[in-house]
Amino acid sequence: MLLRGRRGWWGKWIWRAAVAISIFAFIWPILAGYTSRFYNELNGAVGALAVINFFVFIKVVMSTLSTANQSIIRERTGRTFELLQLTGISHWRFVLGKWAGVMKAMLRDYVWLWFLRVGMLMWASAQMGLHEVNWEARHSSVLSDVVINWDGLLLIAVLLLVFGFLELGFSAAIGIFIGMFRWSHRAGAWVSVIARIGVAVAITMFVLLVGHLFEELGGRTAISDGVRVAAATSLSSLFANGIVSAAFYFDSYTPYANQVNVLIGHLISMMLYTGLTIGTLRLATMVAVRQGINNSSGYEDVRKRKVDRITALSPAKALTTTVAPPSFTPTLNEGTSNIFDLPNADTVRVELYQYHRNVSQLHLRLMSDQDVLYAQFSGVAYMDVPSRWVGADFRVGTQAELQAALQANGIHLNSLMSQGVRLFMAQAGDKTVRIIAARAQLLDELPNRA
């Protein structure tokens, strides 16, 4: 599905061949511009570019949906989704960050599609010009006889640029929203494709139903031709991204080329794209909240999830998973510094090693010139740490600092847990590392969980 991203040689060469064929089809009328078959070659080039546009549009939309979907799935398979849940990242920042990343990754494909569309419509304008100006002698025409509607082409180029950006944003939003749910291998990408088509079909069916009711109530005179043209343009743009109706800007004598109504239809379609994108991103953030991504808007159900997750922990459960005994259990009095009693603790390199969500246990790897140790935090309720930093001089925060951290991050503990958790703090450059957990231990090696 993603030709550029596939491993192996054939994916790259298919991509390169598609680009080469597109360029050749575009320049072919120029190469055959002064031959006796110029008109036929022009028709062939327009037809070839139309076919290429059709398949390229399907390819880039499916690639966008798949890329957005995989960006979420990779977080789960790479076991980094649980770490995101403890970093305090906002659900809006998570969703919008994924959305912007997908758009940046797929932007080159949509630029290629835009050039293909503008090139096809340029030769389509030349074809229409030969029909209007030189119909009788069209078969003997040459390249110098071509008349292109440059004003219409400029307007179309701007519209297609906007439509391409809107399609990119909408498809990326759908892929991210569908990816927030758990799917089997590749199923999420196909569900995203079905959802993208289903949205356009559902809106079209709704508009047709409303139009039918208006016709029945108004004696089939309630809807004017201009409204029909605008509605047909807006609905077709949801399927073809504006490319089909854009050609009407070249024609000036058919009843379907009412440029004002076509433009109104395009503007309505752009508003539909924008509204659907915002709505889909909103749904994705709601699912992200329910998946455990930090909630900054105060939903009560997320606070209940945190309470349930924390109260489900028990010291006995954590101890049953530990095979190797800890080498050092510090005394965790309030205000104690360098709790692991490390020599030159401020020069120890610290790495976020792993986090086990099922037992809420965090492991940090402590690396010095003499040894490699592991810090184990059990009963973790909150974590705000970078992936790597220098300085393992952990201290136990005061009760006031603990309450401030709990309140700032919206963490609610029951009376039993509130008596057992502590705030562990360290300095990582300009950033303060904060871990709210029940216990901290120093291990020579990690426990065997097999």
Of 230, 226, 236, give the one whose Cα is nearest residue 201: 236
Q: Could you tell me the sign of the dihedral formed by the alpha carbons of 18, 110, 52, 6, in that order?
A: positive
Q: Are 164 and 133 in contact (CB under 8 A)?
A: no
pTM: 0.63
Q: Are 178 and 191 in contact (CB under 8 A)?
A: yes
As a whole-number percent, the residues of the chain with pLDDT over 70 amount to 79
Q: Are 133 and 252 in contact (CB under 8 A)?
A: no
151-173 tens-digit pLDDT: 888 988 999 999 999 999 999 99
Tell me the average pLDDT across 41-58.
89
pLDDT computed for residue 450 by the predictor: 42
Reply yes or no on whether the pLDDT at 414 is more than 80. no
- Sheet with 395-396: list strands edge to edge: 382-384, 431-437, 422-428, 395-396
Tell me the average pLDDT across 65-77.
85
202-244 tens-digit pLDDT: 998 888 888 777 766 655 556 777 788 888 888 888 888 888 8
Quick check: helix, strand or coil at residue 316? helix
Q: Report, in this order, helix, strand and coil percent for the chain, each rounded to 5.
A: 60, 10, 30
Instruction: Please give the Cα distance from 79 to 45 (Å, whole number).
Output: 50
pLDDT computed for residue 115 by the predictor: 92
Mean pLDDT of the residues in the chain:
80
- The single-letter code of the amino acid at 198 is G
Quick check: helix, strand or coil at residue 169? helix
58 vs 335, residue with greater confidence: 58
Instruction: Tell me the domain boundaries of the chain.
Output: 9-290, 310-443
Reply yes or no on whether the pLDDT at 320 is more than 50. no
Lowest pLDDT segment from 22-26, 103-107, 310-314: 310-314
Give the Cα-Cα-Cα angle 55, 56, 62 (nearest 5 degrees). Answer: 90
Instruction: Please give the Cα distance from 104 to 116 (Å, whole number).
Output: 20
pLDDT computed for residue 237 by the predictor: 86
Give the number of other Cβ atoms within 10 Å of residue 324's Cβ.
12
